[in-house]
């Protein structure tokens, strides 16, 4: 029986992927094999030594001490792309809210207080001039970060008739395949920003992306640009954008990350972190991450880990050994040597590395006894060994 600790409410559809006859899932499990969470901040948590995997039902992992987990040979899984459609739809909403002045217009109508319809209609007609907007076709959208979300945003905006320019110096081959051929590729972030009537960010918050949109870059952009940050607070320098709103450089700022600085400011459309808040996204994330954690606990396969290489091997032989180790020379040699000494024949073996960690799956033709596991664990550089 595997034990799974949940640190947030996780969709039942996701947890149903962990069958009750094999998995005890609860929010107070002691000595869990795995932790599944959404936004719970794990940085100050005492993580039980029994934990073998962490699954984040979402995309960003900055609430998880990933480096510490890597040092212990524990993979952290996420659910890339599972909430991408939800965020994409909110970006389209954001552009339309900004272009058609919807928030102010709605506010105006809501606050009309005329008991007679004739008079109300006069006020409607009198007021509407203030909220006249513009349409999206022919306008240019810059998409910074062409990952799961950025690619969908770029393709959808193109389908709405916009010109789209994208910037992502490290786009994956898979995302490059998904990206519509009509999306222009910028060589620098400035090239994309300076072409933009709208700019939207879909990058992780890491040192190189902190304050990616700052006063200096904003100064060279078109007047009246609409800035959208539905990625993470900190990627856009809010103070610079507020100055831009005051000077007219920026016409609207759509942010999913409200702060006291942004509160009540003219031109700011702040949303309460709604990007991935749809039932569908939560379910998709929970299903993906539950299946990945299950496959890791049962088969040692690693799919969509943020700190470990992708490793998948169909089961064969009598037993599978899963070894996490430091990425150093001769680790595979030493592992094979221990197995050879014990007279265990290797059926299949795969070894992949990522940064400082490496991971080896070995299918053997008979059961390894405890002494083999102990010898493997004792190899200098081995972080943990599991017999599956
Ligand atoms: N508002 C929300 O509720 C919400 C929901 C989901 C995701 N997000 C945020 O959106 C971000 C993107 O999500 P995703 O699923 O598309 O992630 P992803 O990993 O698929 O894509 C991120 C992309 O950013 C690119 N990138 C990294 N550094 C870059 C740089 N310096 N310049 C340009 N591109 C760079 C990467 O190459 C990658 O293609 C997440 O990191 C998360 O913070 C927010």
- Mean pLDDT, all residues of the chain: 96
Q: 3-class DSSP state for residue 43?
A: coil
Q: Ligand 1 centroid to 202 CA: how many Å? A: 4
Q: 3-class DSSP state for residue 200?
A: strand
The mean per-residue pLDDT over the stretch 153-163 comes to 98
Which of 145, 165, 235 has most ligand 1 atoms within 8 Å of its beta carbon, as the pocket-test mutant?
145
Domains and CATH numbers, the chain: 1-82+280-300 (3.40.50.720), 84-95+136-270 (3.40.50.720), 309-388 (3.30.70.260)
The mean per-residue pLDDT over the stretch 163-179 comes to 97
Q: Indicate the length of the chain as a whole number.
A: 388
In angstroms, the CA 140 to CA 224 distance is 12
Which ligand 1 atom is at minimum distance from the Cα of 84?
15
The mean per-residue pLDDT over the stretch 295-310 comes to 97
Q: Taking Cα atoms as reference points, which of 329, 323, 331, 316 lies closest to residue 365?
A: 316
Render pLDDT for 23-73 as a digit per residue (tens, 0 to 9): 999 999 999 999 999 999 999 999 999 999 999 998 889 999 999 999 999
- Percent with pLDDT over 70 in the chain: 100
Q: Is 142 exposed, middle or buried (0-12, 13-18, 19+ CB in 10 A)?
A: buried
pTM recorded for the entire structure: 0.80
Ligand 1 site, CB within 6 A:
59-60, 80-81, 83-84, 87, 144-150, 167-171, 175, 202-205, 208-209, 230-232, 256, 273, 275-276
Render pLDDT for 216-269 as a digit per residue (tens, 0 to 9): 999 999 999 999 999 999 999 999 999 999 999 999 999 999 999 999 999 999
The mean per-residue pLDDT over the stretch 184-198 comes to 98
> For 36-73, b where at least 16 C-beta lie within 10 A, e where not — what string?
bbbeeebeeeebeeebbbbbbbbbebebbbbeebbeeb
CA–CA distance from 192 to each of 80, 198, 213, 317 (Å)?
24, 10, 12, 53
- pLDDT of res. 19: 97
Please, are residues 111 and 134 in contact by the beta-carbon 8 Å criterion?
Answer: no
Q: 3-class DSSP state for residue 163?
A: strand
Q: Ligand 1 centroid to 176 CA: how many Å? A: 15
Q: Is the pLDDT of residue 312 over 90?
A: yes
In angstroms, the CA 293 to CA 77 distance is 7
- pLDDT of res. 60: 83
> For 189-214, b where at least 16 C-beta lie within 10 A, e where not — what string?
beebbbbbbbbbbbbbeeeebeebbe
Give the pairing of strands 140-144 and 163-167.
Answer: parallel
Q: 3-class DSSP state for residue 232?
A: coil
In angstroms, the CA 26 to CA 381 distance is 34
Q: Whose Cα sits closest to atom 38 in ligand 1?
A: 147
> Within 10 A of 13 (CB to CB), how many other CB atoms are there?
14
Helical pair 331-341 and 370-378, crossing angle rounded to 10 deg: 160
Q: Whose Cα sits closest to atom 32 in ligand 1?
A: 168
The phi-psi region of residue 236 (left if phi > 0; otherwise alpha if psi is between -120 and 50; otherwise beta) is beta
In angstroms, the CA 373 to CA 63 distance is 33
């Amino acid at each position: 029986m595997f034990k799974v600790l949940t640190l947030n409410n996780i969709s039942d559809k996701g947890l149903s992927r962990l069958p009750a006859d094999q998995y005890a899932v609860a929010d107070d499990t002691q000595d869990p094999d795995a932790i599944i969470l959404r936004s719970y901040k794990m940085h100050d948590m005492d993580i039980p030594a029994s934990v073998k995997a962490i699954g984040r039902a979402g995309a960003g992992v900055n609430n998880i001490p990933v480096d510490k987990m890597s040092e212990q040979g524990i993979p952290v899984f996420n659910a890339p792309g599972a909430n991408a459609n939800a965020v994409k739809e909110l970006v389209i909403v954001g552009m339309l809210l900004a272009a058609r002045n919807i928030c102010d217009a709605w506010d105006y109508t809501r606050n009309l207080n005329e008991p007679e319809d004739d008079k109300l209609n006069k006020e409607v007609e009198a007021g509407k001039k203030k909220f006249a907007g513009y349409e999206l076709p022919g306008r240019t959208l810059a998409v910074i970060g062409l990952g799961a979300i950025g690619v969908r945003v770029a393709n959808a905006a193109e389908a709405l008739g916009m010109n789209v320019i994208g910037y992502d110096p490290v786009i994956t081959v898979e995302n490059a395949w998904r990206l519509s051929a009509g999306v222009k590729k910028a060589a620098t972030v400035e090239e994309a920003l300076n072409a933009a009537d709208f700019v939207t960010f879909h990058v992780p918050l890491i040192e190189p992306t902190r304050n990616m949109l700052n006063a200096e870059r904003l100064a060279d952009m078109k007047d009246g640009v609409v800035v959208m940050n539905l990625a993470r607070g900190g990627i856009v320098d809010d103070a610079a954008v507020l100055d831009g709103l005051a000077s007219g450089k920026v016409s609207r700022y759509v942010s999913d990350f409200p702060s006291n600085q942004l509160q009540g400011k003219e031109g700011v459309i702040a949303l309460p972190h709604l990007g991935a808040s749809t039932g569908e996204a939560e379910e998709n994330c929970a299903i993906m991450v539950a299946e990945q954690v299950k496959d890791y606990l049962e088969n040692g396969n690693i799919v969509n880990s943020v700190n470990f290489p992708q490793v998948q091997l169909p089961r064969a032989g009598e037993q599978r050994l899963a070894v996490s180790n430091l990425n150093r020379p001769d680790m595979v040699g030493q592992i094979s040597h221990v197995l050879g000494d014990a007279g265990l024949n290797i059926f299949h073996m795969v070894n992949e590395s990522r940064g400082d960690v490496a991971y080896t799956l070995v299918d053997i033709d008979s059961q390894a006894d405890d002494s083999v596991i102990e010898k493997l664990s004792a190899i200098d550089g081995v972080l943990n060994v599991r017999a599956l």
